[in-house]
């Protein structure tokens, strides 16, 4: 084991080898408050990448209804149960990670789903917690204990991937140029150690080809400066494909750095597992914080307050409005004179969005005649 610095945990941790960080790190930011579970992202991903034989059950991108939705069944509750007691002292994690809690002879604490666990991606979803009582009346607060929200999931392309650590063939690797985690299928022998190790269960096994597969971060698009398929297909404009720095190197002009490090609005998924995942979530504002803190860490209350006050923060509001405004990757942004602008790597403006849309009032002449003058435009003859 090597000691590596995991900034999400606020401390160093054990990892099977000394893993250098890539030149830049691919990431995605998801605003859970905007998702309507239309599954446009899921279909866009599947029709692009997983339409072949042996991939029928594969959803590299999926939307789960929390707290009862899973794909595969029980993916997170199982690993949390195995990990046992977890805790935070401020922003420092005091529990053990899946690497530090690994059994003797293993590199990662994990479990392997049964084949049946992948068969029902909607099992148990859209069910509220608690009960509504004998009537359908739901008071303003606290929602009669009824709540649910949609969680968008892809591979986290972790800084310290459990799949990479566990593979005996070194068939899974992390690209040094952008941090995307890929499978070299010529090296894979189908041992499925990656499936056991990944706590997010985002490596999958093709029963036809007998090798592992996973989300590739749409790297052919990224190499052209374009955002991922799931991002550009999202009708709710809740996703942002970007690159994230470490906290000490954060640049407030870079969208992901601004959301993650400067405003601390976007939070990682189950950071206590220790993988330093690189998909970040703006938490839902209507869900009990106790549940969200287990899922996104101790930054939840501050993130919710920041989001609810975004209207008073022009920079944040402008950046949120740039979500889904262009298919290009936004390298830097600024907000000035009521307009949010995004720029590419060369500093060229690629998108501009007003913070407040202008109001247009059509002249009355389009609706009726005035003083006997003829109507311009279309009219109905009687």
What pLDDT was estimated at residue 382? 46
> Mean pLDDT score of the chain, rounded to an integer?
91
What pLDDT was estimated at residue 67? 87
Mean pLDDT value of segment 272-291:
95
Q: For the chain, which domains are there?
A: 2-281 (3.30.70.20), 311-382 (no CATH)
At residue 367, does pLDDT exceed 80? no
At residue 357, does pLDDT exceed 60? yes
At residue 50, does pLDDT exceed 80? yes
Identify the band that residue 138 occupies on the pLDDT scale cut at 50, 70 and 90: very low
At residue 136, does pLDDT exceed 50? no
Identify the band that residue 363 occupies on the pLDDT scale cut at 50, 70 and 90: confident
What pLDDT was estimated at residue 142? 52
Q: Could you tell me what percent of the chain has a pLDDT over 90?
A: 82
At residue 366, does pLDDT exceed 80? no
At residue 81, does pLDDT exceed 90? yes
Identify the band that residue 368 occupies on the pLDDT scale cut at 50, 70 and 90: low
pLDDT in tens, 299-330: 999 999 999 999 999 999 999 999 999 999 99
Mean pLDDT value of segment 66-76:
92
pLDDT in tens, 146-161: 788 999 999 999 999 9
- Respond yes or no on whether the N-terminal peptide bond of residue 67 is cis (omega within 30° of 0): yes
pLDDT in tens, 188-199: 999 999 999 999
pLDDT in tens, 83-107: 999 999 999 999 999 999 999 999 9
């Amino acid at each position: 084991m090597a000691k590596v610095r995991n900034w999400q945990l606020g401390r160093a941790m054990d990892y099977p080898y000394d893993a250098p960080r890539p030149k830049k790190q691919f990431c995605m930011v998801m605003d859970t408050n905007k998702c309507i579970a239309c599954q446009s992202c899921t279909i866009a991903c599947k029709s692009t990448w997983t339409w072949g034989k042996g991939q029928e059950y594969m959803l590299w991108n999926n939307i789960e209804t929390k707290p009862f939705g899973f794909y595969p069944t029980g993916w997170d509750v199982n690993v949390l149960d195995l990990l046992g007691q977890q805790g935070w002292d401020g922003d420092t994690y005091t529990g053990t990670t899946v690497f530090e809690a690994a059994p003797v002879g293993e590199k990662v604490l994990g479990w392997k789903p049964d084949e049946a666990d992948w068969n029902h991606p909607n099992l148990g979803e859209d069910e509220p917690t608690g009960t509504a009582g004998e009537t359908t009346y739901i008071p303003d607060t606290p929602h009669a204990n009824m709540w649910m929200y949609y969680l968008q999931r892809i591979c986290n392309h972790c800084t310290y991937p459990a799949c990479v650590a566990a593979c005996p063939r070194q068939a899974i690797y992390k690209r040094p140029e952008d941090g995307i985690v890929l499978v070299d299928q010529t090296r894979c022998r189908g041992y499925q150690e990656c499936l056991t190790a990944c706590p997010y269960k985002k490596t999958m096994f093709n029963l036809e080809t007998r090798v592992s597969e996973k989300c590739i971060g749409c790297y052919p698009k990224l190499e052209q400066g374009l955002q991922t398929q799931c991002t550009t297909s999202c009708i709710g404009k809740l996703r942002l494909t970007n690159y994230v720095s470490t906290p000490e190197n954060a640049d407030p002009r870079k969208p992901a750095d601004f959301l993650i490090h400067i405003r601390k609005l976007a939070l990682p998924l189950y950071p206590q597992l220790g993988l330093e995942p690189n998909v970040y979530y703006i938490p839902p504002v209507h869900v009990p914080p106790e549940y969200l803190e287990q899922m996104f860490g101790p930054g939840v209350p501050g993130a919710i307050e920041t989001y609810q006050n975004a209207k008073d923060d022009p920079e944040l509001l402008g950046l949120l409005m740039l979500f889904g405004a262009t298919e290009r990757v936004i390298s830097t942004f600024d907000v000035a004179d009521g307009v949010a602008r995004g720029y590419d790597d060369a500093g060229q403006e690629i998108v501009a969005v007003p913070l407040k849309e202008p109001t247009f009032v059509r002249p009355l002449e389009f609706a009726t005649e005035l003083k006997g003058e003829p109507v311009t435009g279309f009219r109905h003859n009687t």
